[in-house]
Homo-oligomer: A and B are copies of this chain.
């Protein structure tokens, strides 16, 4: 009998991490969920927390002693912890670089000390910059970086590959597009929803609305990461995930429709929504499909589920606040 794999997930309580923990538990892994809860939420991992094969560690990836302790007896690491709020990157470059590059190096060093050499990494399609080749395959000409977020993710990719060469690691790099689905945390869907709840008659859109963005359901992204770690045989493996896309305008219309709103759309800025915004991003995912990956969720159903999740979330938060307020009144 093959021994049960023991796997550590960083960013386990995050949007993608929580779905990955569920997928790993379903695949029979013992899972150590590692998260500093800076943006992750225990509510995301309600089901794993009840599973006997799941253990949660609240700690930072940069806390090496805690990480080394958590890594004991693990065979494989999924590194998903990140500073993922791409649009607000220019406001704090040092923080973005620390959390997206320096943290990876700290993790690699902890793994090296622990003798663990297999790591899957959630990278980003943004490393292709504003690429003229669309859909973009993994081996496109050496691109120019256009965001601090992508530069930091690319730095992490480089470190992983260097550790493969220097220390015999096996690495699985999955370049993802924007994620959708339940437990969605931030991004354009949340922004549009927030606007429409204030003024259902109009919606302000960053950019000209014609930016074409690829999206992927977080559950399909989790499957991509799992499959990469299970089936890739090279020492350094790089795979794209996310090819289905929507224009920002269509996305806005769909979100509004889900709410029963019919807003006027107002565009702000030029072709790019913000500095580093890539107006057209679509990835060539043939390499991943050859491994047997097939996304199960359509972009539209993912988008609708994202809206439904955010609405439900908002209601339960409102309910929570109301309850807390009542309790405080009762207590007083």
Contacts and interface: CB of A to CB of B under 8 A. Distances in A.
Interface of A: 89-90, 93-94, 97, 101-102, 105-106, 108-109, 129, 138-148, 150-152, 154-155, 157-159, 161-163, 165-167, 236, 238, 275-276
A156 to B, nearest CB: 9
A147 B159 CA distance: 8
Given A93-B166, A155-B155, 20 more contacts: A90-B166, A93-B162, A94-B109, A97-B159, A101-B101, A101-B155, A129-B161, A139-B141, A140-B142, A141-B141, A144-B236, A145-B165, A146-B165, A148-B159, A148-B162, A151-B159, A151-B161, A152-B158, A154-B158, A162-B276
Contacts of A109: 93-94
Nearest to A171: B144
Given A101-B155, A105-B93, A154-B155, A162 B141 contact: no
Q: Identify whether the interface residues of A are mostly helix, strand, loop, or mixed.
A: helix
Q: Which of A148, A157, A165, A275 has the most CB of B within 10 A?
A: A165
12 contacts: A90-B166, A93-B105, A94-B106, A97-B101, A97-B102, A101-B155, A140-B141, A141-B141, A144-B238, A147-B165, A148-B166, A167-B275
